[in-house]
Amino acid sequence: MTAFLLGVLSSLAASGVLLVLGFLRGSRPLWWLVAACSWCTGTGLGRVYRQQSSAERDIARELGRARWIKVLAGRGNVLTREAFSALWSGELPLESVQILLPDPRIRADSWLDRRSHDVCRFDPGFTPDLLRSQVRTNFDYLEHAARAQRNVELHSFNLPNTCRIIATDRAAYITFYSSSAHGRNSPCLYARAPGLLYSFALQQFGSAWSDSSPVPAAR
């Protein structure tokens, strides 16, 4: 695992200069330069969104072409917004949908609480129990939205909230969470399959899924 992460970091370092140039250009990075560097380094990095929230329109298009979807999130708000509306309306003929959110029931040594404490330091309106409440609300929404879907699995986990992953059989959108910013304000990476970043995303999801618990379907 350590060697794999070092490979990711070294490849990202090789792409760093071009990514900085892309950010300096404006709201749209120099995606063709990023893609060229990605091809040379093997990362599979296709583009970088300055903020996670700006990727949602492209995520919706990606989901419309997917055979399966895997989501690992620290809160899950995106699952209740327009990007995923086609999924919950039954428009997408998917083989499987796997969703992982932090377990809001765990109190002792909870990574959800640790993330809450981080956010409280830079967001004065964020109370210690707010994140837990938001995750619980999103679980309620998903439990009801998934009732009409045959292939949707909801799981909860208690692991470090270090990134958000939205992956399909074609690509992955990855946001690495910062201890000093909301996830929606953090850069989001688009990684094509195959590639090092795409493999990293699936490995991270698989590790969390194997250590998670299923959420009973709503009645």
Q: What is the pLDDT of residues 51-87, one digit of tens each?
A: 999 999 999 999 999 999 999 999 999 999 999 999 9
Global pTM reads: 0.82
Residue with tokens 């210690």: 128
Note whether 177 and 202 are same-domain residues: yes
Note whether 59 and 41 are same-domain residues: no
Q: Residue 162: which domain range?
A: 51-214
Higher pLDDT, 73 or 6: 73
Give pLDDT, residue 81.
Answer: 95
Note whether 113 and 42 are same-domain residues: no
Note whether 137 and 198 are same-domain residues: yes
Note whether 74 and 105 are same-domain residues: yes
Cα 57 from chain centre: 15
- Whether 161 is covered by a domain: the verdict is yes
Burial class, 133, CB count within 10 angstroms (exposed 0-12 / middle 13-18 / buried 19+): exposed
What is the count of structural domains for the chain?
Answer: 2
Note whether 39 and 56 are same-domain residues: no
Each residue's pLDDT tens digit, 30-51? 555 555 555 555 678 888 898 9
Note whether 21 and 84 are same-domain residues: no
Note whether 6 and 77 are same-domain residues: no
- Whether 160 is covered by a domain: the verdict is yes
Note whether 62 and 116 are same-domain residues: yes
Among candidate residues 105, 89, 99, the one with its CA nearest the CA of residue 217 = 99
- Whether 205 is covered by a domain: the verdict is yes
Each residue's pLDDT tens digit, 157-210? 998 888 999 999 999 999 998 887 888 888 999 999 999 999 999 999 999 999
